[in-house]
Amino acid sequence: MSLSGVHLTQIGRADFLLEPLRSLNVGDNARLIEGVVERLLRAGAARLYYDLSSQAIIDPVYYAWLNQLAKTVAAINVKMVCVHMQPTAAFALVQFERETPAFETALEISDWQNSAHNK
């Protein structure tokens, strides 16, 4: 099953990397979330890394999409970690974000793996 608007790549035994494409429509995401969850379930995934390197700004709509995806994958015991968040995106996000997001963040995938090990 192809997923429209994202690249979803398995990068380890239980790890997946999601790279959003320009064509991603975060306003109409129900089918996309179902597709992602199905792929993760099939592979027995434990972690989903969401690459934010191409996202200069995170607005409330994009933030809601990230939260919804993180909460949904958490329902099948998959932890979502956003990596490569841009300074401009973090700056914009803290201006309106009022609650702890449903996802974790890391500079790099390897950083998150190391810090999870050290905690």
Partner 1 sequence: MAQKKTASEKLTALFNLKIGDIAGALSVPGRKYFGGDSRLMDDDEIADASGDFKNLIIALLSAKDPTDKGSPQFQALAMFFSNLAQRVLMRGGHVEDVVRYAQLLQHTLIEALEQDSGIEFTQSRSTLLYFSGVFNELIMAAFRVYLEEKESALSAQEQALRETATPITEIWDGVLTLPIIGALDSSRTMLVMEALLNRIAKDHARAVVMDLTGVKNIDSQVSHHLIQMVRAIQLMGSEAIITGIRPEIARALISLNIDMRDVITRASLSDGLKEAFRRMGIHVSQKTE
Residue with Cβ nearer partner 1 (37 or 83): 83
Say which residue the tokens 């099948």 belong to: 76
DSSP letter at 102 equals S
Residue with Cβ nearer partner 1 (68 or 105): 105
| Encoded tokens for 65 | 């999409």
Residue with Cβ nearer partner 1 (68 or 86): 86
Q: Are 33 and 66 in contact (CB under 8 A)?
A: no
111 scored as a contact of partner 1 (CB under 8 A)? yes
Q: What would the DSSP string read from start to end of 11-70?
A: -SSSEEEEEE-TT--TTS-HHHHHHHHHHHHHHT--EEEEE-TT-S---HHHHHHHHHHH
**Contacts (CB under 8 A) with partner 1, residues 23-82:** 82
The number of residues that bind partner 1 (CB under 8 A) is 25
Interface stretch with partner 1, choices 3-11, 23-31, 35-43, 106-114 (CB under 8 A): 106-114
Backbone φ and ψ of 9, nearest 5° = -125, 135
**Contacts (CB under 8 A) with partner 1, residues 86-105:** 86-87, 89-91, 93-95, 97, 100-101, 105
Binding site for partner 1 (CB under 8 A): 82-83, 85-87, 89-91, 93-95, 97, 100-101, 105-108, 111-112, 114-115, 117-119
